[in-house]
Each structure stands twice: as C-alpha cells, then as structure tokens.
Chains A and B, each alone.
Chain A
Amino acid sequence: MNEAAYAPPSGLQAAKPAAGPIAELRNVSKRFGEVLAADGLNLSIEAGEFLSFLGPSGCGKTTALRMLAGFEAPSSGDVLLDGEVVNDLEPYRRPVNMVFQHYALFPHLTVAQNIGYGLRQRRPRPPREEIERKVTNALEIVRLEGFGGRRIWELSGGQQQRVALARAIVNEPKLLLLDEPMAALDRKLRKEMQIELQNIQRRLGITFVLVTHDQEEALSMSDRICIMRDGRIVQTGSPRDLYDRPRNRYVAGFVGSSNFFDGVAAAVSDTETQVRVAGGIMLSGRALAPVTAGQAVTLSVRPEQVRLARTAADGDKAGWDVTVLSRIFLGEHTEYLVKHDGLGEFMVLTPRQAELSDGPFNAGERLVAFWEAESALVLTQD
C-alpha cells in the first residue's frame, strides 16, 4: 500500500514564501452532468496570502475549493500546486488541509487524537513524543490548552471549530482551505473567530483560502477576494479595489451597499459619461471600463458619498430635491432613506460629525441631496 508520500517540514514556524504562486487554476471547468459548476476559472494564489471566494450559494466557490483539496477532479483545465499539475492527485497525497463546514470531527476520537490524526498517517510515522508536542502546540494556538482529553460531543460549536482548525494547521499545509467555517456560529462568536483566524494566519504564514457567502466576513479578513457568479470568476482584487473599482453592477452590489440607477449611456467622453436614467434625467459619472453610447449601464452611488442639506447652498452644483422617508440611527452614522420624484428612493449615510452642524433631519422633511460626479461610477450590467 502506498502511504502518503508527502512529508511536510517540522516545527510550526512561518512557511517561507516560495517563488511563484503556491496554487493555480488554469482555465479550470467542472461539469456535474448537465450543470457547469465551474466555468473557465483562472486564478493564481500567492504564498502567504488570505484569499476568499465570495458568492451566493451555487456560484461554484465550493467546487473550486474541492478541486484544490482533490475531492473533485476538473473536467478540463489544470489545477497546480507549487507549480505541479495535480488534477488527478488523490486528496491524501496533497499538502493541503481543509476545515469543513460542519467540522467533520471524528466522534470516536478525543480532541487530541483528532488533532494528531494527520500526523499519525505520515510514513515513517513520527515518534509519539513529537506528535504529542505538536498537538499541544496546536491546542495552544487555538487557545484550547488542556482540552486534549475531551470528547468531541462535550465541546461547544466554537470549540469544535477551533479543534477543526487545529487539526488542519498542525500539519503545516501549504494551503489551508476553509469551507464556510463560520456558518454555524452565532454572530458574536463569528466576529471573534474572524479576528482570531486572521491572527493565526498572520502568525503561521500559511496560505488561507476561504469560501464564504458573507461579504462582511470576506471584506474584513481577506487580502484578496475572488467574486464568483454562475461558475465564473467575475472579479479578483483586494477588498478596497473591489469596493472602489467594481468591474460591474454585480460586484458593486456584492461588496458594500450602493444606490443603483439603471439607464443608457448617452454621451461618452474620456473623463465623464452621461447616463440617461428613468424619467429622462441625465446623470454623470465616471466609467471604469470603456462603455459605448447606447449601452445599457448602471450608475452606482455609494450611500456615504451622498450629502444632505436643508438648502441648496453649494453654489453652482445641481442638487436633487428629496423627501426624507425614514431615518435609522447607527451610532457613528445615520442612515436615511430619501425619495426623489424622478430618481426614486435611495440611501444616504451621513457621518455623525456632519449631523452636528446641519441635522439631524426628520422624516417628511424636504432636503437637497448632492454627490460629486466622480464618485458616481458607471458600471456595465453583465
């Protein structure tokens, strides 16, 4: 019997960054019967980074992760680990470990036996003292000192998740895959775990690949986010990049919240694009990708980029006469829902400081709303 050929380095130190990407997807597609779950994925994952696949359920993000783990083989294209094509390499031969959605901890083993499982599979098998030392070390990293002898069902959900994480990192994988690991935790615990996960990733220097449908989770933890839809990658970039320069309406809607005005590109110049929206109103904005006149586009304005005032005191700038529909106090910010006769309803996020000088505004009040033309983005609708 051919046991695992892979022998990771010893000691839980930061992995040294290798030259070139640690993992790569090259034009990878995966077909399940009639369904194309992954469609021409191209992505390279750099050593030491924290990358997230973000998208709604059924967008192919889990399939991408399972192809990296080796549970699925691509129908076409290549999956590379450390520069080598591993399309058909079995999961147990890959230097990759996974934290499963429902943790998949072995119920018949203790916490320590679960964590040491991967170490015990190595050939030659490491001495018992070494396994014990590494398990103890891993328990310390996830802050579960002294829990080694417990049974899995004696642990809370959050503790089980830490064990699942320890069971993966103890092997010092080149790639740690996390399949919606926070989905089963309550909100407060999730926040804590996000911070902790990030700390552990920084400390160990292991490359993390996370799958999630929670934009907040992806935005707060990742170095880079890969946004997916219908089996395809829509855009890959840093959270800031995706927020400031979304490739299309879908990305803008998935990363942060935004006001969308659908329309048709009317006049296109290098610096400004005019968009004719509902009611024949012309709005101007900045196009990040080239658009042609007559193309269906969406103008996106982030709620925090809209200003509200009682009077149109901003000189020559055109404002929109709006009526306040509702107000939600959020502490640092106040969120207003306002309505313009032609443009319809949209959201405004006003910082507390601005409120102190002019405001707060009450429901029913008539105001003027402004935004800078360059803060409005003209996005394609694909």
Chain B
Amino acid sequence: MRIYAAFVYLFLYIPIGVIALFSFNAGRHASQFQGFSTQWYGKALSNPFVMEALQTSLIVALVSATCASVFGTMAAVALQGTKGPLRTAFDLLIYVAVMIPGIVIGIATLIGLVTLFDQLNPVLAAIWPGGPPPQLSMGYGSLIAAHTLFTMALVIIIIRARLAGMDRALAEASSDLYATPMGTFRQVTLPLIFPAILAGFLLSFTFSFDDFIIAFFVAGSETTLPIYVFSSIRRGVTPEINAIGTMVLAASLLLLIAAQVLLRTGRRRG
C-alpha cells in the first residue's frame, strides 16, 4: 500500500518538479539540463506580453475575489437565517456550482453573454443620446463575472462552515446587550467569521488567477497569464514558460497555505 501511495505521489509531483528544475536551466532546451541559471526568470519578467497578461490576471483575480467575498458573505449570512426547502434548494445549487466542470461554466457563460449582448447592443444603439454607442462584448466584465460566479460558491461553503461552528448564544448575547441586528453583525458575527472571509478571498484569488478553462472561453480579446502560457506552448516549451509556471505555482501555494492557516486560527479562537 505504501509503495503504491509513493508511486501516486511520484506520478503527481515529478512533472511539477521537472518544470521547476528546468526553469533554472542555463540552456534553452527543455529536455537537457545545461547548468544553473536564473536568466529565464529575468527574461519572463522583462517580456512585455507576459507582464501585460500578468496585469490582466491580477486585475481579474482581485476584482472577482473581492466580489465573491462580499456577495458570498452576504449569501452565507442570509442562508443562516433561512430554513426548510428553500435552504435545501440553495445548498444544493451551491454545491452544483462547485461540482460543475469549468468547461461547462465557460461555454454556458460565453453563449449566455453573447446572446444577451446581441439583444442589448441594438437597443443600446437606439436609445444612446448622441455619439457612437458603446459595444458590449466579452472582456474584463465577462471574465470577472464568470470567475465570481464560480468562486462565490466556495466562499459561501467556507463561511457557512464557520457560521455553523459559531455558538448561536453569541448573537443572542449581543442582542440581549442592546445591540441591534446590524450592530450584532458588525460587532460579533463579522469579526468572528473574518478569518473565513479572508481565507475565502485568498482561495478565490488563487482559483481565478490559475483558471484557464473558463477564461479561455470568456476572455474575449483579453489575455490572462494562463492563456498566454497556453498560446506560447504551441510555439514550443522554453525555460521561460517553466519560469512563469514555477512563479505561478509558488504564489498559488503561498496563498493556499495562508488560507489554511487563517481557517485554523479562526477555528481555534472561536
């Protein structure tokens, strides 16, 4: 059993290790190691296309993670006060949103938005007062919307777990001590679930930043970092791609670890 498990881990991590290793390759080939060098990191960071894609990815991840955290928190708190079949239905829908393959979200969002824009653009053109009317199209907006949809479900699940572990008497005690429902939320509920919100934000950020499949469908003319990497690979794998991959991996791991630490401390204190 142990040997079997060891093989599973080797199979999973050796390719990742190889990518990280070859990102330090002095030569330009991905197949033979020709000495240690960090030149490809420098190349990647000075490549304007990489930097532009990175900027797009960061903006999309930041905005969608923020939206997901805000709306997810609101939904989780509201669901806490909901009972019966309505709650069951919402719970089910949230899990469906997490389970659904990214490619389905991507295609569905693409078709849905394109259809909507086709309907809206003529209307907009008709009622626009003077000047050329704006054209609604795929881009930042659709990327952020699709990523928010997907990551918000994660945030809701994380915060729901935290709320369920919270002593109901705390909210009652606050109400007993003259705090209005809004006051209770601000002074008791929010501080106690804050680690979970932050963890949800970091996870959302990571998922959005790393996402390729959904972005591939809905990005329109924008290029995120994963899309850039994908399109570069068609021109052959260079150590520069390895360097980008390694940096993305390191950043993602750091964020995931931070989220875990936050969830743990939150649980211990509460």
Contacts and interface: CB of A to CB of B under 8 A. Distances in A.
Contacts of A4: 178-180
Interface stretch (B28-36, B167-175, B256-264): B167-175
Interface stretch (A78-86, A117-125, A261-269): A117-125
B177, B179, B182: most-surrounded residue (chain A CB, <10 A): B177
Interface string B179-210: 11011000110011000000000000000000
B169 A1 contact: no
B178 A106 contact: no
Contact of A69 (B170, B176, B188, B192): B176
Contact of A92 (B170, B176, B187, B269): B176
Interface string A37-75: 000000000000000000000000000000001110000
Interface string A87-101: 000111100111011
Contacts of A102: 167, 169
B172 to A, nearest CB: 6
B173 A6 contact: no
A380 interface: no
Nearest to A179: B169
Interface in B231-270: 269-270
Describe A's contact surface by its main secondary structure: loop
A104 interface: yes
A98 B174 CA distance: 10
B172 A106 contact: no
A100 B180 contact: no
A97 B176 contact: yes
B56 to A, nearest CB: 38
Given A100-B169, A102-B169, A108 B192 contact: yes
Given A107-B192, A108-B192, A98 B179 contact: no
B270 A107 contact: yes
Contacts of B180: 1-4, 92, 121
A240 to B, nearest CB: 33
Interface residues of A, number: 30
Nearest to A164: B173
A171 interface: yes
A334 B223 CA distance: 90
Interface in A163-200: 167, 171
A121 B179 CA distance: 6
Given A92-B178, A92-B180, A108 B172 contact: no
Contact of B177 (A2, A71, A101, A171): A171
Interface in A104-134: 104-108, 117-118, 121-122
Contacts of A70: 175-176
A176 to B, nearest CB: 11
Contacts of A117: 174, 177, 179, 187
B164 to A, nearest CB: 16
A96 B172 CA distance: 13
A105 B192 CA distance: 12
29 contacts: A1-B180, A3-B180, A4-B179, A4-B180, A6-B178, A70-B176, A71-B172, A92-B175, A92-B176, A92-B177, A97-B176, A98-B172, A100-B169, A100-B173, A102-B169, A105-B173, A106-B170, A106-B173, A106-B174, A106-B188, A107-B192, A107-B270, A108-B192, A108-B269, A117-B174, A117-B187, A121-B179, A153-B269, A167-B177
* Nearest 6 Cβ contacts at the A-B interface: A104-B169, A118-B177, A4-B178, A121-B178, A104-B173, A91-B175
